[in-house]
């Protein structure tokens, strides 16, 4: 047993070193390899140190899991990465809950502490499991991406929460019957669903980060059940990671976590009908846009999720390459919530071979707009709305935005004049230095590339 | 193991987590999530032990847990590697 614990500490050290190497894209890949070696050590140490393990059962389980995991990992499209992470979170939470359940039926160290940690582990793990599957369904389109709300929803959730606390307590002190335990599992599964369905598709980055954190907490709780340092340390790392990302996503949307979880934004807001001035926009053809780009020296591309939906990442990279070959400077401005999960847009652009040095985040890029000749906004809307800076009545007031309006010229590509996620008009489109280039992002960029070559 | 000891380990690990994760740049946040997801597959250790305890029911629960956790570990590390491979310099 001594050696096993040393192996677990070694595994934890390798996890920490692995995450540390994620501080730069240069070393990140080796970091992932180091962490996977840590995992291998932990697994092998467990297999060799327990007597009378059921090797056949374990081997079959691992083979099935490897086939499923590898299949998903190889097949998944980069646009589907949020779904993939969501469903994997679910598996992680589910595994922790199952381990705790097995321990419930035959505790190795029976005590009140043991029962309490089992209850917590089963609760968090089950909630993560069902919540992740709802999140997966919403992102994949199996479940409506719109917030699902009904009267009395909050009261119902509060009642479920109270029952959960009571069932948790009775599971610990309840004595012979298993009914409380089953009730706990059922209600934890239910609250995972009822807490996730009212959250809209645009808020999914927050939910996925939060569920990621929960899967870590579940693993740590299982570590407390089994008194296993390896699980506790790894679970704590993942829990912290998810919490930090949740916080970053909330800041990116200028909303509190409570507001995201209970706010159900996107449904209640009625679009303001005749509120004030109609926005007058100027539109431009791709030929005009090409001429403007030819005269520019510094160009900043602002990709939004619309770009990814149109699968236009390669098209914009080709244009950027072309412009760079003409001696121009091209940068990309990545808003924290540009994709469907933290860092999603960076992965989508990396897939299109955009060098990572060109991808700048909010704080890095905003000063760059001051002397920027042309900003190209592709499928982004709310994250470039200047109303967030000055209009206290706007629902997005206070949200950190990309200051594209400070560029000499702003080219905005949109399919139509429909408002963005927050359902509000964007005054940027009516600014004197803004030109709208309407059309599907991919088709527009292909035309633009052609026009640039013909100049 | 002493209860205080494992709480100490837990709290210290959270602090270490905050320290190292705040240093991960936004550009790598997706790989961070999928990678840390793989790490949360450490529940596989518990799953392996669970196949032994708890009689027949425990073996079944452990078996399913082994499948779930393996999906997490294998899929998580593989997809993270696939993503990180794409991050290139000029």
H helices within A303-432, ranges in order? 305-309, 313-325, 344-351, 362-365, 387-390
Question: CA-CA distance, A427 to A444, in Å (whole number)?
Answer: 23
Tell me which residue in A234, A341, A350 faces B39 most closely, judged by beta carbons: A234
pLDDT tens, position by position, B34-69:
999 999 999 999 999 888 876 788 889 999 999 999
List CB contacts (< 8 A) between A113 and chain B. 3
Contact check, Cβ <8 Å, A39/B16: no
Candidates B34, B63, B81; CA nearest to A64 is: B63
pLDDT at A417: 76
Chain A residue closest in CA terms to B22: A244
Candidates B84, B85, B65, B73; CA nearest to B25 is: B84
pLDDT at B1: 55
Q: Is residue B4 within 8 angstroms of chain A, CB to CB?
A: no
* Widest Cα–Cα separation across chain A: 83
Tell me which residue in B17, B28, B66 faces A61 most closely, judged by beta carbons: B66
Contact check, Cβ <8 Å, B30/A346: yes
pLDDT at B86: 95
Residues 6+ apart with CB under 8 A from A316: A301, A303, A307, A352, A376, A378, A445
The SS3 of residue A301 is strand
Tell me which residue in B10, B31, B43 faces A96 most closely, judged by beta carbons: B43
CA distance A56 to chain B (A): 10
Question: CA-CA distance, A270 to A252, in Å (whole number)?
Answer: 23
Chain B residue closest in CA terms to A74: B79
pLDDT at A276: 45
Fold of the domain spanning A286-454: Rossmann fold (3.40.50)
Active centre residues of A (catalytic): 382
pLDDT at A272: 46
Q: What is the mean pLDDT of residues B14-39?
A: 95
Question: CA-CA distance, B48 to B40, in Å (whole number)?
Answer: 15
pLDDT at A267: 44
Residues 6+ apart with CB under 8 A from A401: A335, A382, A383, A384, A385, A386, A388, A389
List CB contacts (< 8 A) between B80 and chain A. 32
The SS3 of residue A438 is strand
Domain chopping of chain A, boundaries: 76-263, 286-454
pLDDT at A199: 85
Contact check, Cβ <8 Å, A233/B13: yes
Chain B residue closest in CA terms to A28: B84
Candidates B10, B5, B59; CA nearest to A230 is: B10
**Contact status, residue A178 vs residue A167, Cβ threshold 8 Å:** no
Contact check, Cβ <8 Å, B34/A84: yes
Assigned token pair, A449: 């590339």
- DSSP 8-state secondary structure symbol assigned to residue A429: G
Name the CA dihedral angle for A142, A145, A147, A149, rounded to a multiple of 10 degrees.
-20
**Contact status, residue A35 vs residue B35, Cβ threshold 8 Å:** yes
Contact check, Cβ <8 Å, B37/A60: no
Candidates A68, A216, A41, A212; CA nearest to B79 is: A68
* Widest Cα–Cα separation across chain B: 57
Contact check, Cβ <8 Å, B46/A226: yes
Residues 6+ apart with CB under 8 A from A123: A164, A168, A184, A188
Assigned token pair, A166: 């009571």
**Contact status, residue B24 vs residue A23, Cβ threshold 8 Å:** yes
Lookup result for tokens 């004197």: A432
Lookup result for tokens 């140190």: A49
Question: CA-CA distance, A131 to A191, in Å (whole number)?
Answer: 8
User: Would you give per-residue pLDDT tens digits along chain A (455 residues)?
Assistant: 678 889 999 999 999 999 999 999 999 999 999 999 999 999 999 998 877 678 889 999 999 999 999 999 999 999 999 999 999 999 999 999 999 999 998 776 678 888 999 999 999 999 999 999 999 999 888 888 788 888 888 889 899 999 999 999 988 887 778 889 999 999 999 999 999 988 887 788 889 999 999 999 999 999 999 888 999 999 999 999 999 999 999 988 888 888 877 765 444 444 444 444 567 889 999 999 999 999 999 999 999 988 988 889 999 999 999 999 999 999 999 999 888 889 999 999 999 999 999 999 999 999 999 999 999 999 888 899 999 999 888 888 889 999 999 999 999 998 877 766 666 788 999 999 999 999 999 999 999 999 999 98
List CB contacts (< 8 A) between A139 and chain B. none
Residues 6+ apart with CB under 8 A from A145: A138, A139, A200, A201
First to last CA, chain B: 52
Question: CA-CA distance, A96 to A65, in Å (whole number)?
Answer: 15
Number of Cα atoms under 13 Å in the Cβ half of residue B3: 8
B interface test, pick of A6, A13, A22 with most B CB neighbours within 10 Å: A22
Chain A residue closest in CA terms to B64: A61
Q: Is residue B8 within 8 angstroms of chain A, CB to CB?
A: no
pLDDT at A396: 84
Angle CA A139–A200–A158, to nearest 5: 115
List CB contacts (< 8 A) between A60 and chain B. 63
Question: CA-CA distance, A188 to A193, in Å (whole number)?
Answer: 9
Contact check, Cβ <8 Å, A342/B33: yes
B75 CB-contact burial (10 Å; exposed 0-12 / middle 13-18 / buried 19+): buried
Tell me which residue in B33, B48, B55 faces A212 most closely, judged by beta carbons: B33
- DSSP 8-state secondary structure symbol assigned to residue A226: H
Tell me which residue in A70, A98, A235 faces B61 most closely, judged by beta carbons: A98
CA distance B4 to chain A (A): 11
Contact check, Cβ <8 Å, B87/A223: no
Please count the residue pairs, one from chain A and one from chain B, whose beta carbons lie less than 8 angstroms apart: 372
Contact check, Cβ <8 Å, A62/B70: yes
**Contact status, residue A360 vs residue A331, Cβ threshold 8 Å:** yes
pLDDT at A354: 95
Interface of B with A in 59-78 (CB under 8 A): 59, 61-78
The SS3 of residue A447 is helix
Q: Which strands, in side-by-side order, build the sheet including A298-303?
A: A359-361, A329-334, A298-303, A374-378, A409-414, A434-438
Domain chopping of chain B, boundaries: 33-90
Contact check, Cβ <8 Å, A347/B6: no
Assigned token pair, A31: 């970091």
Lookup result for tokens 């090409």: A290
Tell me which residue in B1, B69, B86 faces A351 most closely, judged by beta carbons: B86
């Amino acid at each position: 047993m001594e050696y096993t614990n040393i192996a677990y500490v070694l595994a934890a050290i390798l996890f920490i070193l692995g995450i540390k190497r994620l501080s730069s894209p240069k070393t990140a890949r080796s970091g992932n390899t180091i962490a996977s070696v840590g995992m291998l050590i932990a697994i092998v140490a467990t297999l060799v140190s327990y007597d009378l393990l059921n090797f056949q059962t374990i081997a079959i389980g691992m083979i099935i899991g490897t086939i499923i995991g590898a299949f998903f990992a190889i097949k998944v499209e980069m646009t589907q990465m949020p779904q993939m992470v969501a469903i994997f979170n679910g598996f992680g939470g589910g595994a922790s809950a199952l381990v705790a359940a097995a321990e419930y039926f035959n505790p190795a160290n029976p005590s009140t502490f043991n029962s309490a940690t089992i209850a917590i582990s089963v609760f968090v793990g089950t909630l993560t499991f069902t919540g992740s599957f709802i999140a997966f369904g919403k992102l994949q389109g199996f479940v409506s991406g719109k917030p699902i709300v009904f009267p009395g929803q909050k009261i119902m959730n509060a009642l479920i929460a109270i029952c959960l606390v009571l069932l948790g307590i009775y599971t610990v002190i309840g004595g012979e019957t298993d009914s409380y335990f089953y009730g706990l599992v059922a209600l934890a599964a239910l609250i995972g669903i009822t807490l996730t369905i009212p959250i809209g598709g645009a808020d999914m980055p927050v939910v996925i980060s939060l569920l990621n954190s929960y899967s870590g907490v579940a693993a740590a709780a299982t570590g407390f059940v089994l008194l296993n340092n390896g699980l506790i340390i790894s679970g704590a790392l993942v829990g912290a990671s998810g919490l930090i990302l949740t916080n970053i996503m909330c800041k990116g949307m200028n909303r509190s976590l409570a507001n995201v979880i209970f706010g159900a934004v996107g449904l209640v807001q009625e679009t303001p009908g005749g509120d004030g001035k109609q926005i007058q926009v100027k539109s431009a053809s791709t030929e005009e846009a090409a001429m403007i780009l030819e005269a520019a020296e510094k160009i900043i591309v602002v990709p939004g999720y619309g770009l990814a939906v149109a699968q236009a990442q390669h098209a914009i990279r080709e244009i950027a390459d072309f412009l760079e070959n003409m001696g121009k400077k091209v940068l990309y401005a990545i808003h924290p919530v540009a994709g469907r999960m933290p860092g999603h847009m960076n992965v989508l652009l990396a897939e299109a071979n955009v060098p990572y040095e060109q991808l700048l985040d909010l704080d890095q890029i905003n000063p760059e707009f001051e002397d920027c000749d042309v900003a190209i906004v592709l499928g982004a809307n709310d994250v470039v709305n200047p109303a967030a800076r000055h209009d206290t009545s706007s629902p997005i007031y206070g949200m950190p935005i990309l200051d594209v309006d400070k560029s000499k010229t702003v080219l905005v590509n949109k399919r139509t004049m429909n408002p963005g996620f927050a359902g509000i008009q964007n005054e940027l489109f009516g600014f004197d230095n803004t030109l709208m280039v309407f059309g599907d992002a991919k088709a527009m960029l292909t035309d633009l590339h052609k026009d640039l070559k013909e100049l | 193991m002493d209860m205080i000891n494992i709480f100490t380990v837990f709290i210290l690990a959270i602090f270490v987590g905050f320290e190292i994760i705040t240093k991960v740049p936004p550009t790598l946040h997706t790989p961070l999530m999928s990678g840390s997801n793989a790490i949360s597959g450490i529940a596989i250790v518990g799953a392996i032990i669970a196949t032994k305890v708890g009689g027949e029911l425990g073996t079944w629960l452990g078996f399913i847990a082994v499948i779930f956790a393996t999906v997490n570990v294998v899929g998580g590390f593989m997809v993270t590697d696939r993503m990180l491979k794409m991050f290139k310099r000029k």
